[in-house]
Amino acid sequence: MKIAMMTNNYKPFTGGIQISVERQARELMRLGHEVTVFAPRYGGTEQLDEEATERIIRYPTGKHKIENGMPYPTIFMGEIHKVFEKEQFDCIHVHHPMFIGNCAVNLGKKYGIPVIFTYHTRYGDYLHYLKIFRREEEECFWKRNLFRLTKKVLIPAYMKWYTNQCDLVLAPSEGMKQLVKEQGTNTPIQVFPTGLEEEFFVQNKKESQKIRETYGGDRKYLLCTVSRLEKEKNPYFLLEGIAEMKKILGDNFRLLYIGEGGEKENLCRYAKKLGIEEEVCFLGNIENRQVKNYLNAADLFLYASKSETQGIVLAEAMAAGNPVVAVKAVGVDDIVKNGFNGYRTNEDAQEWAAKAVRSLNPKLHERLKEQALLTAERYRSLRLAMYEESIYAQCIHEKQKKMWNSLGKEELLVNE
């Protein structure tokens, strides 16, 4: 098959969608398929694209950027249309509903090929990145009402319309599938999570031990979390939970906080205010292929985000044998099972901290660790790529059948 992958962000921009697209492209190529990734053009990506195993075609972006650093794509994407005029694709897999999303739907209709859309994001949780909805402006009455209207009415209405323009919707988790259905999507929906490459299951014990010695020192426990330092990831709650853990464990642990974001300075100040500045190490961004070494060095993975549709990093943590303690949320609920591979809690810092401390009990920890490794097996990329291959084939078959049926009806009308 010749597959077009379309996204509004890609490397060097770091994020869950970028990781998902890259992994899917690589695994599908290993199965013998031809994959082209259509991604935004950033400055200085030429060498990066040359070194990539997947074929990348860049399209222009605008001058303005969203607050998280991602540039707005342009509305007119002539480069993509030129490629489609010259080449024949079997299907389009698009990862955003706007900008590139509209382009994908138009190309699907023009060339009679199926459009598969992955519903990666709960878009209403990210409105604060738009200038009009920043906190200081939300204090205005009409701004607050506009925020509510956009989140509760406009975005769901648009997503209902968009998903019903596609031939298939992929939801990263069962919980997300139910939300999409409740939104009014009539298009077929299947659950398809982002997978883990084989390297996540291979330990570099020497490197992990070095990390543990460097950051853990003589402390008994080393904990880890991976998340952008942004409000939608609930980082302030996580720090409050760490403060509660300190009341129980004292200074016998340390948390490695991997990630960057606009809230970093505020979070550092908050950690100091809570008296946990020595227990929390803000490491910034770590190259994605190195993150597994930090996970392997840790005893437990902590998570507080409530805006995830899957939470790729939870599967990555479990592949490293980390039990997970997280706040109940869509995506989290699909992978974290209470008392099996970790715990899900209410958004209560004391409850969350108590479960984290309990998970460190030696006998329970060993059992949780074994079950976490078993859970991660379900997310191997190659296994999921083979499933994705069958999804594409079925979708292409259904699209062709609909077109032939439509042509047959038109012929009958002509003959009558």
Read out DSSP for 273-310?
A: HHT-TTTEEEEE---HHHHHHHHHH-SEEEE--S--SS
Mean pLDDT of 285-313: 90
User: Does the structure show a pLDDT above 90 at 37?
Assistant: yes
* Residue 415, pLDDT above cutoff 60: no
229-247 burial by CB neighbour count: b if 16+ within 10 A, else e? bbbbbbbbbbbbbbbbbbe
When the pLDDT of each residue in the chain is averaged and rounded to a whole number, the result is 89
- Beta strands across the sheet bearing 115-118: 55-59, 34-40, 2-6, 91-94, 115-118, 168-171, 189-191
Task: Provide the CA 250 distance to its chain's centre, in angstroms.
Answer: 34
Q: In this prediction, what percent of the chain has a pLDDT beyond 70? A: 89
- Whether the pLDDT of residue 416 is over 60: the answer is no
Q: What's the mean pLDDT in 17-40?
A: 93
Give the pLDDT confidence of 79-111 residue by residue, as tens digits.
899 999 999 999 999 999 988 999 999 999 999
pLDDT digits (tens, 9 = 90+) for 369-392: 999 999 999 999 989 999 999 999
pLDDT (mean) for 205-225: 96
Instruction: Examine the pLDDT at 351 and tell me if it is beyond 50.
Output: yes
The model's confidence at residue 75, banded by pLDDT at 50, 70 and 90, is low
Question: Per residue in 352-375, pLDDT tens?
Answer: 999 999 999 999 999 999 999 999
State the pLDDT confidence band at 297, using cuts at 50, 70 and 90.
very high
Given a cut of 90, whether residue 153 has pLDDT beyond it is no
What phi and psi, each to the nearest 5 degrees, are found at residue 350? Answer: -70, -45
Check: CB of residue 262 under 8 Å from CB of residue 68.
Answer: yes
Q: Which of 44, 119, 53, 41 is nearest to 80 (CA)?
A: 41
State yes or no: pLDDT of 135 exceeds 80.
Answer: no
- pLDDT value at residue 223: 98
Give the chain's domains with CATH numbers.
2-195+381-415 (3.40.50.2000), 198-377 (3.40.50.2000)
- Residue 51 confidence (pLDDT): 87
Structure tokens at 88: 């024949």
Mean pLDDT of 380-406: 90
SS3 127: helix
Least confident interval from 32-46, 125-139, 211-225, 326-340: 125-139
Distance of CA 178 to the CA centre of its chain: 18
- Give which of 139, 89, 175, 90 is closest to 395, Cα–Cα: 90
**Higher-pLDDT residue of 58, 133:** 58
What integer is the mean pLDDT of 248-259? Answer: 96
Asked if 147 and 127 count as a contact pair (C-beta separation under 8 A), the reply is yes
Give the pLDDT score at 41: 86
Strand extents, DSSP E, 98-252:
115-118, 168-171, 189-191, 221-226
